[in-house]
Amino acid sequence: MEQALLAWFGAQDADLPWRRTRDPYAILVSEVMLQQTQVSRVVPRYEAWLERWPDVQALATASPAHVIREWQGLGYNRRGLNLHRAARAIAAQGWPDDLTELPGVGPYTAAAVRAFALGEAVLPRDTNVLRIEERTGHRFDPSCGQALMDLGRTVCLARVPRCDECPLAERCPSRGRRYEPLRKQSRFEGSFRQRRSAMLRLIAESPRPLEELDGEAVEALERDGLVATANGTVRLPA
C-alpha cells in the first residue's frame, strides 16, 4: 500500500510552505496552527507569523498581548498562548528531549516535529492517519506521514470518502462505505465560545472597564491567561 500511496502523493504537488523547511520552530508553528483549522486559512497566517517572528528567540521576546492579537481569527486562542510559552521555554533551556514537556505539545505534535523537522522514523498519527489505518486495516510506515495527511484531508474523508479517487481503494476493505459523524460539533452561534471570542476581540482592541463586559466570559479568559484584570479594567496580559 505504501508504494501506491506515495506515487499518488508525488503526483499531487501540494506545495505547502511548512514542507519547504526542516526548522523545528517553523514545523511547531505549523502544527499548532493546523489543529482544528483548515489548511487554506493557515497558509497566509503561518507566513505572516514567521515574517514577524522568524525564530524561537524572536517569539520568546514578544509580549503575550502581541501574540494574542496576531492569533486572532485562528480560533482556540490558548493554542497561540501555549506556543508563546513553548518558545520562551526553548529560548531559556533549549529543545527538551521529550517535546511533550513543552506547553501545549501533545504526543501527536511532538511526533510531527520529530518526523518532519528532525527526520526521525516516527509516524505522526493525527485523526486523518488513524482513520485511514482503521479503514484499510494497514499500519503504514513513517515515510507515509505527509501522504496520509493529504489523503485523509482530501480523499478519505470522515463521512463520505471519495473512494473512486483513492489510490488505496483496490485493497481497502472499507471501500464504498459511508459513515455517521462521531459527534456533532456544538454550534458556535450563541455559544459560550462565541461570548469568549467576542470579549477577547473587544479587549484586544483596547482595555475595557470590567463593568461593561460579559463578566463570566472575562473570568474564563482570565483563567486561561488570555486577559488580566486590575483596578476594574480588563486588558491583554503584558
Report the distance separating Cα 46 and Cα 43, nearest Å.
5
Percent of the chain beyond pLDDT 90? Answer: 87
Report the distance separating Cα 105 and Cα 87, nearest Å.
11
The number of beta carbons lying within 10 Å of the beta carbon of residue 39 is: 17
Taking each helix axis from N to C end, the angle separating 64-71 and 192-205, rounded to the nearest 10 degrees, works out to: 120
pTM: 0.89
Count, residues in the chain: 238
- Please determine, for residue 218, whether its predicted confidence score (pLDDT) is greater than 80: yes
- Check residue 185 and report its DSSP letter: P
pLDDT of residue 186: 63
Identify the active-site residue in 31, 134, 165, 180.
31
Report the distance separating Cα 230 and Cα 238, nearest Å.
12
- Per-residue pLDDT averaged across 174-184, rounded? 80
**Model confidence pLDDT, tens digit, residues 134-148:** 999 999 999 999 999
- Please determine, for residue 164, whether its predicted confidence score (pLDDT) is greater than 80: yes
Give the chain's domains with CATH numbers.
1-11+121-185 (1.10.1670.10), 23-116 (1.10.340.30), 192-235 (no CATH)
- Per-residue pLDDT averaged across 112-124, rounded? 96
Report the distance separating Cα 42 and Cα 26, nearest Å.
13
- Please determine, for residue 23, whether its predicted confidence score (pLDDT) is greater than 90: yes
pLDDT of residue 200: 94
Instruction: Provide the grid cell at 119.
Output: 527526520
Report the distance separating Cα 47 and Cα 30, nearest Å.
10
Fill in the amino acid letter for 92. A
Higher-scoring residue by pLDDT: 75, 80: 80
The model's confidence at residue 76, banded by pLDDT at 50, 70 and 90, is confident
Q: Is 31 a catalytic residue?
A: yes
Name, in order, each residue with C-beta under 8 angstroms of 134's C-beta and a sequence gap of 6 or more.
none
Fill in the amino acid letter for 163. C
| Range 54-57 contact pairs with CB under 8 angstroms and sequence separation of 24 or more | 55/23, 55/25, 56/25, 56/87, 56/90, 56/91, 57/91
The number of beta carbons lying within 10 Å of the beta carbon of residue 23 is: 15
